[in-house]
Copies of this chain bind each other. A is one copy, B any other.
Amino acid sequence: MSRFWSDIVHQLTPYTPGEQPKIDNLVKLNTNENPYGPSPKVIEAIAAANHDGLRKYPDPNAGELKQTIANHFGLSVDSVFVGNSSDEVLAHVFRGLLKQDRPLLFPDITYSFYPVYCALFDIAYQQVALRDDFSLNIDDYSADNGGIIFANPNAPTGIAVPLADIKTLLERHSSSVIVVDEAYVDFGGESAVSLIVDYPNLVVTQTLSKSRGLAGLRVGFALANPELIEGLERIKNSFHPYTLDALALAGAQAAFLDVDYFEQSRQKVIDTRERTTVGLQKLGFTVLPSSANFVFAAHQTSDAGALFMKLRERGIVVRYFDKERLSDFLRISIGTDTEMQQLLSVLADILSEPAQ
């Protein structure tokens, strides 16, 4: 606490990112990174941009990257907004579109950054409980609202919302902005991008950190009607116009152009997830149906917090949320097949130990 801080700073409870432990030989399954990394063409594109030209400012409008993303999704270039990670993009969405007189609605269990943005931007919100099976019931979103946001697939559950439900929601709340945070959509969810042309109140956000293996490059984007995108640009250009550095611009563009690598990489993750799910079930875990690059799993008898600690002692880091409704579960990112075999084998060991 400091007498020099603005009032708001005293009230903040900042987001806690997943641990980035500096330990060698760790099996790191805690922050939903992609085990296969970026396309080799991304590395090449960055290498080609890594020269004396770094002395110049990058294109503040990120024109080429936006055009590449627009082409990829079959949208107009003015339907694309890019930022330094989807977290930054979401921050601008909260500030520029979701701060309204009526409260924002989002699930009680979802990306834990949403209430943090609400505190930072002083946005009133109501959390809507997911069903007991952790699925999202659109009929529960009946309250008068100034916006709705949810992650699809949801985090940390991995459960997807059907596209038909999103369409119904957009129609029922046509005067509210509906944001679908699709950080994990490429691992099995149905993207809402196809609805953008018909629904002026829809914003879809995505990231290159997961399915494109580029968490280290910090690139995210939003897709929406140009009118909404213009609102985001106005916020961004009042905050920091040159959001993406020259290397991130080059790498992100290459990531979108290598469609084959993207398709193969995400399919490998999906296949490993399905095998891991079966393996966990055999060990006595209940695994929520995941459309993401992680699974959310609760053991029928063993305490999740204790399992988390025992895995960590054996060099495997997963994520544990000591919160209501979540504390029975472990969130396990999908790594390589080898890593997941190691996880299953260590879990089998731990679970076979006599109870203490």
Q: For residue A96, which residues in chain B have a CB less than 8 angstroms away from its CB?
A: 5-6, 8-9
Closest to A83 in B: B240
Does B9 lie within 8 Å of A242, measured CB to CB? no
Residue A277 is within 8 A (CB to CB) of chain B in the complex: no
Closest to A210 in B: B55
Does B216 lie within 8 Å of A56, measured CB to CB? yes
- Separation of A12 and B58 alpha carbons in the complex (Å): 23
Please state the number of chain copies in the assembly: 2
Residue A246 is within 8 A (CB to CB) of chain B in the complex: yes
Q: For residue A85, which residues in chain B have a CB less than 8 angstroms away from its CB?
A: 240, 242
Task: Name the segment of A37-45, A128-136, A294-302, A342-350 touching the other chain.
Answer: A37-45
Does B4 lie within 8 Å of A231, measured CB to CB? yes
Does A50 lie within 8 Å of B46, measured CB to CB? yes
Closest to A45 in B: B50
Could you mark each residue 6-31 of chain A with 1 if its beta carbon is under 8 Å from any beta carbon of chain B, else 0?
Answer: 11110011110110100000001001
User: Do most interface residues of chain A lie in helix, strand or loop, or is the interface mixed?
Assistant: loop
Residue A323 is within 8 A (CB to CB) of chain B in the complex: no
Knowing A84-B84, A242-B87, the reply to whether A230 touches B2 (Cβ < 8 A) is yes
Residues of A within 8 Å of B, CB-based: how many?
Answer: 85
Q: For residue A33, which residues in chain B have a CB less than 8 angstroms away from its CB?
A: 55-57
- Separation of A91 and B235 alpha carbons in the complex (Å): 12
Does A3 lie within 8 Å of B214, measured CB to CB? no
Chain A contact residues, CB within 8 Å of chain B: 2-9, 12-15, 17-18, 20, 28, 31, 33-38, 42-43, 46-47, 50-60, 84-85, 87-88, 91, 95-100, 116-117, 119-120, 175, 177, 200-201, 209, 213-218, 227-228, 230-231, 233-248, 251
